[in-house]
């Protein structure tokens, strides 16, 4: 019954947040907490900012989006700073409709949903508190009660600008219910809720023949006309359209560019003047963020139509491309799987990364610099260090194409193919080869892939397979080298002795004969070449090792096998190369002898304990790497 107690506690917490008082009492609150009178755009910006901002490599990371949006840091920073921040400062951007444009499954809807859910929670905090005239269907700002001729005086006293005018309904209520006494008008705290239609609205166009403009602006309540005597009496009007209900918060305009023109006309005055026309009333003020989303093809069609020119200038377009970083794409898949019924399935290491490599390659454009191929570009984008390239080179690559990431394979397709692989294999474990096979088979079923694209995508599957082959061999290499750890340590000690002699221009003594020898250049190069250390770079690398040894010695520490990551990798690869014949025999033999079986079991245990495999995927990996080595 613990959940019942939590429900009760939640209900009690909600009650604690409630507030009700007169307009006079509300002004006292405003005096003490001016932020409660902020505009809708300002509230959204502060909500994002209050969630936290981290700056890394001259880029702002907004924690608000960190749990659901991956790899779109550039787009999110542009969205927050160029639109929300500017609009919060009442710059002209505030008068623009925000249009998110990007490919399907790129994150547009997720961003909008996060803003809506975020506002719901933020309105329950002190920083995001919202107050409205009690009983108003549009949750009108109480400051609209201040007469226009007194607003300059109000600004001098409170430092707050008032935008908008009292709605027809509240103007009548002020006269009839409160006898014109503004200070007595009741004010209440409201909490945004899309389900309850408070401060958050969603408009989705349907058949133009059947959809009514009342869906946006409300409608006459014919059942009350006899009571109130006129269609122009605001009490005979239902202020329940999406523009009415989204007042003070935000409205999502789904498929805006597919709308009938009559639905878009209202957005012209709403965006520019902050009001819209409804029924037989004066213009109705509304303070709301309007967010729409579309794809590039629809947008191009929209702007090519001269009839839409008036709306063009009232729209700010923000591109939301696909993510182009492999590690972030992998996080997208992990989250989608975690949110699905596939969470219990064992997905072997590198399976999702291999799928991500394929996806990212389909989204990248060929570099103009011919010394960089797509795979190298992909690795640079993902933050990998590649010899001969600097961070400035990556920035230059990003500037080559403004529309990079606006097409390619979408994450939903990949997840669908992973699901298909799981169902087909009918076991609770899949690996990278299963995923690649499923991706390949699915290309024939993808409705929007041309034959030309299909050929390119097949090449990208081959490229992803090559990347996986290297990763698979390296994984087995690490597991085998661990079984020969003493050999690895001996090889490393031997290398360090030679490096020390080389850097200090000394000789080495043969441990058996005592004869003096020159440093073993062949041994050192055979290790250094494993990690791409060139002939020209060998001295700098060796001196770096010697400096690291000295630094450890000054601190009273011993330089060991795990003290230098790149050197450890080089030792592992060298030892693995020397052991390749042993590995071939051990992994490919169908009837291993006792010593081979022991070695296999040690390697499998290592893969399970240290690398995240289960017994099925570990055995599959060993068999696959064995076949690779025997080719």
pLDDT digits (tens, 9 = 90+) for 136-145: 999 999 999 9
pLDDT in tens, 378-428: 999 998 888 778 888 888 888 899 889 999 999 999 999 998 888 876 667
CB 361, CB 414: distance < 8 Å: no
State which H helix or E strand residue 132 sits in.
strand 130-133
Q: Which of 362, 469, 374, 348 is nearest to 411 (CA)?
A: 362
Looking at residue 246, what is its pLDDT?
94
**CA 43, chain centre distance (Å):** 22
Q: Which of 25, 29, 45 is nearest to 37 (CA)?
A: 29
Using alpha carbons, list the distances in angstroms from residue 287 to 113, 157, 281.
19, 23, 18
Looking at residue 232, what is its pLDDT?
82
429 compared with 583, residue with greater pLDDT: 429
Looking at residue 208, what is its pLDDT?
66
pLDDT in tens, 300-353: 888 888 877 878 888 999 999 999 999 999 999 999 988 887 778 899 999 999
> Alpha-carbon torsion 514, 520, 522, 528, what sign?
positive
Domain positions in the chain? 1-14+22-319, 326-467, 484-578
Percent of the chain with pLDDT over 70: 95
Q: Which of 561, 546, 573 is nearest to 478 (CA)?
A: 573
pLDDT in tens, 54-109: 988 778 999 999 888 999 999 999 999 999 999 999 888 888 899 999 998 889 99
Q: Are strands 275-276 and 219-220 parallel, antiparallel or unpaired?
A: unpaired
Beta-bridge partners for 508: 517
Q: What are the residues whose beta carbons fall under 8 Å from the beta carbon of 524, sequence distance 6 or more?
A: 495, 498, 499, 502, 538, 542
Q: What are the residues whose beta carbons fall under 8 Å from the beta carbon of 163, sequence distance 6 or more?
A: 39, 274, 285, 287
Looking at residue 509, what DSSP letter applies? E
pLDDT in tens, 357-377: 999 999 999 998 888 899 999
CB 322, CB 406: distance < 8 Å: yes
221, exposed or middle or buried, with CB in 10 Å at 0-12, 13-18, 19+? middle
Using alpha carbons, list the distances in angstroms from residue 472 to 175, 446, 479.
78, 29, 11
Q: What is the mean pLDDT of residues 238-248?
A: 92
Looking at residue 588, what is its pLDDT?
63
User: pLDDT band for position 587 (50/70/90)?
Assistant: low
Q: Which of 591, 327, 620 is nearest to 475 (CA)?
A: 620
Beta-bridge partners for 315: 97
Looking at residue 272, what is its pLDDT?
81
Q: How many CB atoms lie within 10 A of CB 298?
A: 15
Q: Which of 612, 627, 617, 353 is nearest to 467 (CA)?
A: 353
d(CA 47, CA 32): 20
d(CA 126, CA 462): 55
d(CA 203, CA 534): 61
d(CA 354, CA 544): 34
Looking at residue 610, what is its pLDDT?
86
561 compared with 538, residue with greater pLDDT: 538
% helix, strand, coil for the chain, step of 5: 60, 10, 30
What's the chain's length in residues? 631
Mean pLDDT of the chain: 88
Looking at residue 375, what is its pLDDT?
93
Supply the CATH classification number for the domain 1-14+22-319. Answer: 3.40.50.300
């Amino acid at each position: 019954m613990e959940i019942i107690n939590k429900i009760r506690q939640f209900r009690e917490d909600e009650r604690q947040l409630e507030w009700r008082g007169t307009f006079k009492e509300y002004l006292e609150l405003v005096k003490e907490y001016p932020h409660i009178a902020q505009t809708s755009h300002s509230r959204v910006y502060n909500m994002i900012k209050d969630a936290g901002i981290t700056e890394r490599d001259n880029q702002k990371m907004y924690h608000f989006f960190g749990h659901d949006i991956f790899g779109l840091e550039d787009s999110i920073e542009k969205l927050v700073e160029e639109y929300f921040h500017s609009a919060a400062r009442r710059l002209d951007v505030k008068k623009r409709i925000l249009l998110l444009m990007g490919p399907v499954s790129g994150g547009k809807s997720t961003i909008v949903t996060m803003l809506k859910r975020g506002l719901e929670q933020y309105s329950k905090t002190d920083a995001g508190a919202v107050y409205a005239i009690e009983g108003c269907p549009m949750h009108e700002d109480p400051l609209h009660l201040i007469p226009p001729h007194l607003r300059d005086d109000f600004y001098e006293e409170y430092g707050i600008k008032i935008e908008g005018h009292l709605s027809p309904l509240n103007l009548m209520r002020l006269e009839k219910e409160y006898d014109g006494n503004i200070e007595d008008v009741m004010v209440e705290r409201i909490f945004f809720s899309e389900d309850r239609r408070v401060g958050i609205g969603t408009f989705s166009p349907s058949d133009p023949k059947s959809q009514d403009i009342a869906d946006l602006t409300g409608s006459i309540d014919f059942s009350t006309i006899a009571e109130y005597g006129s269609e122009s009496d605001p009490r005979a009007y239902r202020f329940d359209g999406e523009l009415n209900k989204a007042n003070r918060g935000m409205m999502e305009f789904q498929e805006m560019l597919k709308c009938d023109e009559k639905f878009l006309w209202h957005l012209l005055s709403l965006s520019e003047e902050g009001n819209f026309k409804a029924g037989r009333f004066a213009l109705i003020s509304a303070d709301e963020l309007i967010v729409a989303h579309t794809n590039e093809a629809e947008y191009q069609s929209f702007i090519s139509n001269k009839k839409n020119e008036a709306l063009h200038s009232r729209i700010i377009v923000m591109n939301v491309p696909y993510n182009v970083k492999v590690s972030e794409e992998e996080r997208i898949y992990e989250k989608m799987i975690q949110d699905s019924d596939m969470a219990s399935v064992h997905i072997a290491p590198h399976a999702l990364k291999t799928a991500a490599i394929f996806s990212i390659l389909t989204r990248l454009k060929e570099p103009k610099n011919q010394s960089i191929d797509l795979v190298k570009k992909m690795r640079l984008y993902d933050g990998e260090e590649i010899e001969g390239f600097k961070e400035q080179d990556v920035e230059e690559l990003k500037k080559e194409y403004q529309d990079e990431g606006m097409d390619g394979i979408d994450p939903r397709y990949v997840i669908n193919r992973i699901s298909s692989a799981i169902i087909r294999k009918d076991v609770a474990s899949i690996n990278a080869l299963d995923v690649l096979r499923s991706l390949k088979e699915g290309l024939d079923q993808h409705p929007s892939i041309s034959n030309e694209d299909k050929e390119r995508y097949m090449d990208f599957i081959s490229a992803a397979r090559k990347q996986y082959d290297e990763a698979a061999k390296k994984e087995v290499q690490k597991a085998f080298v661990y079984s020969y750890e003493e050999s690895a340590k001996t090889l490393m000690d031997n290398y360090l002795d030679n490096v020390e002699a080389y850097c200090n221009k000394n000789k080495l003594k043969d441990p058996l004969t005592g004869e003096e020898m020159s440093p073993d250049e062949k041994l050192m190069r055979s290790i250094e070449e494993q990690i791409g250390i060139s002939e020209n770079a060998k001295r700098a690398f060796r001196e770096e090792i010697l400096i690291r040894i000295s630094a450890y010695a000054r601190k009273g520490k011993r330089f060991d096998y795990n003290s230098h990551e790149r050197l450890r990798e080089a030792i592992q690869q060298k030892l693995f190369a020397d052991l390749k014949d042993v590995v071939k025999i051990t992994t490919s033999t169908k009837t291993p002898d006792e010593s081979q079986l022991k070695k296999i079991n040690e390697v499998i245990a290592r893969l399970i304990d240290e690398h995240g495999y289960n017994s099925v995927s570990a055995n599959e990996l060993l068999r696959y790497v064995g076949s690779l080595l025997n080719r």
